[in-house]
Amino acid sequence: MTLPFTIESQTGPARLARISTAHGPVETPSFMPVGTAGTVKAVPQGILEDLGAQIILGNTYHLYLRPGHELVRNLGGLHKFMSWDRALLTDSGGFQVFSLSELRKVKEEGVSFRSHLDGTSHLFTPERSMEIQIALGADIVMAFDECTEHPAERERARASMEMTLRWAKRSKDYFEAHKHEVPWNSVPALSAENAEGMGHPTAYPTAPALFGIIQGGMYPDLRRESAERTVELDFPGYAIGGLSVGESRAMYPDLRRESAERTVELDFPGYAIGGLSVGESRAKTMEMIAVVLEILPKDKPRYVMGVGYPEEIVQYAAMGVDMMDCVLPTRAARHGLLFTSEGRINIKNARYAQDQGPADPKCACRVCARYTRAYLRHLFVSAEPLAGVLNTVHNLAYYLDTMRSVRHAITLGDLSGMLSGSVSLT
Amino acid sequence: MTLPFTIESQTGPARLARISTAHGPVETPSFMPVGTAGTVKAVPQGILEDLGAQIILGNTYHLYLRPGHELVRNLGGLHKFMSWDRALLTDSGGFQVFSLSELRKVKEEGVSFRSHLDGTSHLFTPERSMEIQIALGADIVMAFDECTEHPAERERARASMEMTLRWAKRSKDYFEAHKHEVPWNSVPALSAENAEGMGHPTAYPTAPALFGIIQGGMYPDLRRESAERTVELDFPGYAIGGLSVGESRAMYPDLRRESAERTVELDFPGYAIGGLSVGESRAKTMEMIAVVLEILPKDKPRYVMGVGYPEEIVQYAAMGVDMMDCVLPTRAARHGLLFTSEGRINIKNARYAQDQGPADPKCACRVCARYTRAYLRHLFVSAEPLAGVLNTVHNLAYYLDTMRSVRHAITLGDLSGMLSGSVSLT
């Protein structure tokens, strides 16, 4: 069984489903916390479990550079290395090397780039990406794609899409020949607890699954064509890529400031400001997702990469998206931005100095149960490491609870409450 | 009842005892984690509770500057502010302003100093220190002392000791007149769980207790005189101060490097290297403690401030010391230094890159139960925030477990195993 995907309930296009991995079940729609370097930044694994995270992401680019995929494989794979026995998904490294901008060069063979850590030269090809992801031992592996920049001229978007399709084929060929080399394949990976949560304890996969990625820029016909031709290659799941590019940071001055600061840290010879046509961009994103969802098979998981704000992920889930991931809740937390049922708050604001309420009065997470906004503000303005821990735990709780509410609403057959409560997207 | 102190068992001069505070019991000998700014750096309060910490420290200097003692009082005191309902001890601020070196000036009235945060001018007097500590609402408050530098000429050490005695009297006078103003006095502070742990649920204090501090430099006769005259002032507990000055960092090149880096960060016009006569210094420290313990009343808690290494705190407990505190386990953790039953290890060392064992094979803490040295090394060399969290949790577990073993050994009537297992001190 490649990747059992059981739809349990549907409301309109939205679906409540269950993905069965060798490392336990993933209930969808699911938001996947990002654990770039084998750690969801600042959060101990036990707390992630308590929060109910069933799957987290690892980044191929980062783990390849440090500590190195060979080392991780030698130590039994990423699950064992980071002591996480639930599901793991790794990206292909395509988006990260794309983000390196001036440091990378794209050819038919693959992408050559220089490490942001030490400037050494490296080459990622579809085959190499598969080899690394198999060594890491993810449950879900992503095809190596070219993440098309935005904006892109039509011909550029088409060429990029064609490249991604050729790379998808090469990814699949290599993956199918080597997928049983994951470090966990030789041992019984599924714990009793996970098997129980699976519903069908015997029907779990013994190898990882490879997802194809749809590109095509902001051109509906290219997206449609990319979807059709990727589906022809026949993957057990599909992702929609290239939608988080230069977009989601656009609406928020503080995130834009952060984006600038962090980009400058990477030290480029020049800088560009992207994604400024915002309202248009968010609407375009939804349009691209809608176009692609029409074509993707309904019996397989559909994953939108790198999104988004809480109101966005609710909207996309309502449209029939099953999986999403984003650095937003974790990265924003480290900058003092908290997502709450009353909107986003910047905890360093002086107005919270004597605020004895929790971060979010409607949140039941361990942070909101115990600590006040006044204390969280004090930790943040004092640059205390506990600030990052507590803020991240709350933001992840907010995202995971949001998805839990979405799943509950699907069971009840009514998502309107969730959607009306969200901020308008246009 | 000022501060009930019940000795339950004795082995030689070592005592197993219980301090009953309004916020629960403290079993002694006790090591107290340092929570400088209302947080034990990088550790959520719930984990401190799980580790069995019954008392932690707050720093008057830091909390006075940020968020300010008035704010903390308005929010119900430090216990409530940081959500910690077990015992709290605050230092007087004397040691911190002493550490400011070029930024402070000592007069009979008190110490004027400039904030390391913004350069603003402030004055700490014995009365002011009491006012701040009462506003913070600690269970145990420390007299305002002058921490004598080391080395110090005899006449300088005597003058400093005399000043500390005059300040002790002023501290006590102000404290006795105002101690019932602590923010928790008006409400029942003791939770059911804490009352139960107390043994004698009704016999807990309704106001904090003030400890006197013994100074006298490295001169046995001055230490003796300081102890005798401080005891004449009659405190419910006594501390020995001035022993962590320029000493404990001396033996370890990595800590000395850190000391240099962190001192340079404070940006002084010049720098001195202290504490180089190390073997001598550690022996002197023990001699000072021994001299003072002879004089201090045996029916009251005795606290050595700012120590030390694991082998030191075992030794001092064996000599009859009841309480100790030190930034060492927490600060060293953030620099990748782990205390283990096999000695101290520097986790960033390449030899741990593929080490699948726990930080300490004999440790039962949550970090050693779950994570490998290879993973801890990866987190540290990647500057991941989780490194500080996990390293600190382990080091605190090691210190708290060490004290637990000492208490157990006292019950069994034999401390020799603990002492022979420790590193030689001369």
Nearest C-alpha in B relative to A85? B370
Query: Do B318 and B415 touch, CB atoms closer than 8 A?
Result: yes
CB neighbours of B128 closer than 8 A, spacing ≥ 6?
B110, B144
Mind telling me the catalytic residues of B?
A: 91, 325
Dihedral in degrees, nearest 10, Cα atoms B293, B295, B298, B302: -40
Quickly list DSSP for B171-197: HHHHHHHHGGG-TTTTS----HHHHHH
pLDDT class of B96 with cuts at 50, 70, 90: confident
Q: Closest CB to B379: pick one of A39, A74, A371.
A: A39
The pLDDT value recorded for residue B257 is: 67
The pair of structure tokens assigned to B173 is 């006078």
What are the tens digits of pLDDT across the range B228-240?
Answer: 999 999 999 999 9
Query: Do B16 and B8 touch, CB atoms closer than 8 A?
Result: yes
Task: Please tell me the distance from the alpha carbon of residue A131 to that of residue B371, in angstroms, as a whole number.
Answer: 26
What are the tens digits of pLDDT across the range A302-323?
Answer: 999 999 999 999 999 999 999 9
Alpha-carbon distance B258 to nearest alpha carbon in chain A (angstroms): 18
Query: Hey, which of A181-195, A324-338, B91-105, B236-250 has the most confident mean pLDDT?
Result: A324-338
The pLDDT value recorded for residue A260 is: 73
Give the residue numbers in A contacting B (CB under 8 Å), as ranges: 37-39, 41-46, 66-67, 71, 74-75, 81-83, 334, 353-354, 356, 366, 370-372, 374-375, 378-379, 381-382, 384-386, 388-390
Task: Please tell me the distance from the alpha carbon of residue B55 to that of residue B24, in angstroms, as a whole number.
Answer: 9
The pair of structure tokens assigned to A63 is 């783990």
**Cβ neighbours of A405 (radius 10 Å):** 15
Task: Please compute the mean of the pLDDT values over residues A411-424 and round it to a whole number.
Answer: 78
Residue B278 has pLDDT above 50, yes or no: no
pLDDT class of B100 with cuts at 50, 70, 90: confident
The pLDDT value recorded for residue A198 is: 57
Task: Please tell me the distance from the alpha carbon of residue A6 to that of residue A4, in angstroms, as a whole number.
Answer: 6
The pLDDT value recorded for residue B56 is: 98
The pLDDT value recorded for residue A411 is: 97
Q: Which of B423, B418, B421, B370 is closest to B394 using CA atoms?
A: B370
Contacts of B191 in chain A (CB under 8 A): none
Alpha-carbon distance A335 to nearest alpha carbon in chain B (angstroms): 14
As a whole number, the mean pLDDT across chain B is: 90
> Are A66 and B372 an interchain contact pair (Cβ–Cβ within 8 Å)?
no
In A111-156, where do the E strands start and end? 111-114, 121-124, 140-142
Q: Name the one residue in this structure whose structure tokens are 């599924």.
A: A190
Q: Which of B248, B199, B201, B209 is closest to B87 using CA atoms?
A: B209
Residue B151 has pLDDT above 80, yes or no: yes
Q: Which of A336, A346, A321 is closest to A406 using CA atoms?
A: A321
Q: Helix (H, G, I), strand (E, B), or coil: what is residue A113? A: strand
State the sign of the Cα–Cα–Cα–Cα dihedral A195, A197, A203, A205.
negative
ipTM score = 0.91
Backbone angles phi, psi at B258, to 5 degrees: -60, -45
Nearest C-alpha in A relative to B44? A386
> Are B75 and A43 an interchain contact pair (Cβ–Cβ within 8 Å)?
no
What are the tens digits of pLDDT across the range B164-196?
Answer: 999 999 999 999 999 999 998 654 555 555 655
Contacts of B370 in chain A (CB under 8 A): 45-46, 83
Per the rule left: phi > 0, alpha: psi between -120 and 50, beta: everything else, B167 is alpha
> Are A353 and B71 an interchain contact pair (Cβ–Cβ within 8 Å)?
yes
Contacts of A45 in chain B (CB under 8 A): 370
> Are B44 and A71 an interchain contact pair (Cβ–Cβ within 8 Å)?
no
What are the tens digits of pLDDT across the range A57-110?
Answer: 999 999 999 999 999 999 999 999 999 999 999 999 988 888 877 778 999 999
Task: Please compute the mean of the pLDDT values over residues B9-33 and round it to a whole number.
Answer: 97
Q: Which of A320, A295, A321 is closest to A307 using CA atoms?
A: A321
Query: Do A237 and A87 touch, CB atoms closer than 8 A?
Result: no
Which residue of B375, B381, B390 to mutate against A (max A Cβ within 10 Å)?
A: B375
> Are A41 and B81 an interchain contact pair (Cβ–Cβ within 8 Å)?
no
The pLDDT value recorded for residue A253 is: 60
As a whole number, the mean pLDDT across chain A is: 90
Provide the percentage of residues in chain B whose pLDDT is more than 70. 87
Task: Please compute the mean of the pLDDT values over residues A234-242 and round it to a whole number.
Answer: 96
What are the tens digits of pLDDT across the range B118-128?
Answer: 999 999 999 99
Provide the percentage of residues in chain B whose pLDDT is more than 90. 78
Task: Please tell me the distance from the alpha carbon of residue A288 to that of residue A306, in angstroms, as a whole number.
Answer: 14
The pLDDT value recorded for residue B424 is: 35
Residue A421 has pLDDT above 70, yes or no: no
Residue B42 has pLDDT above 50, yes or no: yes
Task: Please tell me the distance from the alpha carbon of residue B64 to that of residue B66, in angstroms, as a whole number.
Answer: 6
Residue B354 has pLDDT above 90, yes or no: yes
Residue A425 has pLDDT above 60, yes or no: no
Task: Please compute the mean of the pLDDT values over residues A262-276 and round it to a whole number.
Answer: 62
3-state secondary structure A179-240: HHHCCCCCCCCCCHHHHHHCCCCCCCCCCCEEEEEECCCCCHHHHHHHHHHHHHHCCCCEEE
The pLDDT value recorded for residue A197 is: 57
Mind telling me the catalytic residues of A?
A: 91, 325
> Are A42 and B385 an interchain contact pair (Cβ–Cβ within 8 Å)?
yes
The pLDDT value recorded for residue A83 is: 98
Nearest C-alpha in B relative to A38? B379
In B227-342, where do the E strands start and end? 238-240, 302-304, 323-325, 337-340
What are the tens digits of pLDDT across the range A278-299?
Answer: 456 788 899 999 999 999 999 9
Q: Closest CB to B374: pick one of A81, A386, A390.
A: A81
Contacts of B353 in chain A (CB under 8 A): 67, 71
Q: Closest CB to A67: pick one of B353, B386, B389.
A: B353
Alpha-carbon distance B377 to nearest alpha carbon in chain A (angstroms): 9
Distance of CA A299 to CAs A6, A15, A30, A88, Å? 8, 10, 16, 21
Q: Closest CB to A37: pick one of B74, B366, B382.
A: B382
Residue B199 has pLDDT above 60, yes or no: no
> Are A75 and B366 an interchain contact pair (Cβ–Cβ within 8 Å)?
no
Residue A255 has pLDDT above 70, yes or no: no
State the sign of the Cα–Cα–Cα–Cα dihedral B211, B215, B219, B221.
negative
Provide the percentage of residues in chain A whose pLDDT is more than 70. 87
Least confident of A264-278, B45-59, B139-153, B339-353: A264-278
Task: Please compute the mean of the pLDDT values over residues A158-167 and round it to a whole number.
Answer: 97
> Are A378 and B45 an interchain contact pair (Cβ–Cβ within 8 Å)?
no
Distance of CA B184 to CAs B80, B190, B193, B355, B356, Å? 9, 10, 17, 49, 48
Task: Please tell me the distance from the alpha carbon of residue B143 to that of residue B176, in angstroms, as a whole number.
Answer: 12
> Are B66 and A42 an interchain contact pair (Cβ–Cβ within 8 Å)?
no
> Are B386 and A353 an interchain contact pair (Cβ–Cβ within 8 Å)?
no
Size of interface A-B (CB pairs under 8 A): 101
Residue A250 has pLDDT above 90, yes or no: no
Least confident of A287-296, B21-30, B153-162, B202-211: B202-211
Contacts of A334 in chain B (CB under 8 A): 385
The pLDDT value recorded for residue B190 is: 56
SS3 content of chain B, % helix, strand, coil (to 5): 45, 15, 40
Contacts of A81 in chain B (CB under 8 A): 372, 374-375, 378
Nearest C-alpha in B relative to A356? B75
Top-confidence residue, B264 or A164: A164
Which residue of A382, A390, A391, A394 to mutate against B (max B Cβ within 10 Å)?
A: A382
> Which secondary-structure segment (H or E) carries B221?
helix B220-233
Give the residue numbers in B contacting A (CB under 8 Å), as ranges: 37-39, 41-46, 66-67, 71, 74-75, 81-83, 334, 353-354, 356, 366, 370-372, 374-375, 378-379, 381-382, 384-386, 388-390
**Cβ neighbours of A298 (radius 10 Å):** 11
Alpha-carbon distance B77 to nearest alpha carbon in chain A (angstroms): 12
Residue A274 has pLDDT above 60, yes or no: no
Contacts of B356 in chain A (CB under 8 A): 75
Task: Please tell me the distance from the alpha carbon of residue B189 to that of residue B290, in angstroms, as a whole number.
Answer: 37
The pLDDT value recorded for residue A276 is: 45
The pLDDT value recorded for residue B193 is: 58
Nearest C-alpha in B relative to A70? B354
β-sheet with A104-106: strand ranges across: A104-106, A111-114, A121-124
Provide the percentage of residues in chain A whose pLDDT is more than 90. 78
> Are A382 and B81 an interchain contact pair (Cβ–Cβ within 8 Å)?
no
In A305-389, where do the E strands start and end? 323-325, 337-340, 343-346
Q: Closest CB to B67: pick one of A42, A44, A378.
A: A378
The pLDDT value recorded for residue B272 is: 61
Least confident of A41-55, A263-277, A284-298, B89-103: A263-277
Residue B398 has pLDDT above 70, yes or no: yes
Which residue of A136, A389, A391 to mutate against B (max B Cβ within 10 Å)?
A: A389
Query: Do A25 and A8 touch, CB atoms closer than 8 A?
Result: no
Nearest C-alpha in A relative to B35? A384
Beta bridge partners of A55: A87
Contacts of A384 in chain B (CB under 8 A): 37, 39, 41
